[in-house]
Amino acid sequence: MLSAGVVGGTGYTGVELLRLLIQHPQIELKCVTSRSEAGRKISELFPNLREHTDLEFTAPDEKSLAGCDVVFFATPNGTAMTMVPALLEQGVRVIDLAADFRLRDEAEWEQWYGIKHACAEVLDEAVYGLPELNRDAINQARIVANPGCYPTAVSLGFLPLIENDLIDDQHLVADAKSGVSGAGRGANVATLLCEASESFKPYAVDGHRHLPEIRQTLSGVAGHGVGLTFVPHLLPMIRGIEASLYAVLKTGSTDLHALYSARYQAEPFVDVLPVGSMPETRTVRGANMCRISVFQPQGGDTVVIASVIDNLVKGAAGQAVQNLNIMFGLPETTGLNNVAQLP
C-alpha cells in the first residue's frame, strides 16, 4: 500500500480527488490538510464521503506530509511551490494539480500568474503529466505537473495531426467550453445560478492562463513554436468540457479517422468514436476519459476535431491518479475503471 497526503482538499477538484483516492485499492489516505477546516471531519464538509472515511482535516504539517509516499496539491496557484522543495528533500513524490510547475519558463510563468516563482529551480525537473505524451518520463518523475483541464482536451485533440505534420500549425483555433465547476468552489457572482444559468458567454478572449500551457505542449511536439487562438466559454452546466478544434490540412489524402484510431489504440483513457459520431460531455461525466471525433467537412481542407472530458476527472483529479499509477508502476487503470454517469 502507498500512503498519500492531500494538501488543500476543500474545493471541487479536492473532493473529486478524495473520492478517487478513497476507492483506490493501493492507496491509504493518511492526511488531508486545510487551514480553514482543520479539526472538522471531511464527511461533514463532503457528505458523499460519509461511511468512506473518518479522517479530519488537519493544518498543513511538513512532518506528517513527509511521512507519505506521495503528496497531492489541490491548492490555489502559488501554494505548492512554497512547500515542494522540502518534500522532495524528504523523498516524497509530488503531484501538483495547480499550475505552479506547468510552464518551464520562469519569466513566462510570472507574467501569466502575476507573482514571483518561489522555487524556479524545480521547473526544469517537473514532468508535464499528460500520460499520452510523457508516460516514460512520468514513471521516473519526483514531481509531476498535472495538466490543466482545457490543455488536456485541446492537446489530445491536436496531437496526432501535429505529430504527423499534417496541418498548418501557425493558425490553430481552439473553441472550448467548460462547465461552471471549472471556476472553482469559491463564491463568485459570475458563477451564481442566476448569473450562469440559461446563458452562454466567452471569457478571457485576450489571454487565458491555459494558453501558454497549450502552446508549450504543442510546440514541443512540433519542434517549433505554434500559432494558436484559444477562446474559452462558460457553459450553464456543472461538469464537462467540449473543445472544437480547427486547422487547415496540408494534404487531403490522409485517412484521419484511421490516424486517430491508430494513435490512441493503446491508450486506456482516450476513445476515438466511430466516423460521424458526435462526442457528448454527458458520456464522460465522472469518468477519466477523453472522447474524440474527427471531421473533414465537405471533404475540404479544414479538419475539425471535437474533444470532450470531465474537467474534474480527466481534466484534474482522475488524471492525477492516472499519473500516480504510472509513477509507482501500478496498472494505469487502477482505481479509474468507473463508468460515466448517465443521465
Tell me what the mean pLDDT of segment 96-101 comes to.
98
pLDDT of amino acid 113: 96
* Whether residue 165 has pLDDT greater than 80: yes
List 228's β-bridge partners, or say none.
172
pLDDT digit string, tens, across residues 211-260:
999 999 999 999 999 999 999 999 999 999 999 999 999 987 899 999 99
pLDDT of amino acid 6: 98
31 is catalytic: no
60-64 long-range contacts (CB < 8 A, ≥24 apart) are 60/7, 60/33, 60/35, 61/31, 61/33, 62/86, 62/87, 64/5, 64/30, 64/31
Give the mean pLDDT of the chain: 96
Lowest mean pLDDT among 142-151, 163-172, 244-253: 244-253
Q: Which of 172, 229, 226 is nearest to 202 (CA)?
A: 229
CA–CA gap between residue 281 and residue 152 (Å, rounded)? 14
Domains of the chain: 2-125 (3.40.50.720), 149-310 (3.30.360.10)
pLDDT of amino acid 31: 95
Q: Of residues 31, 68, 119, 149, which has the active-site annotation? A: 149
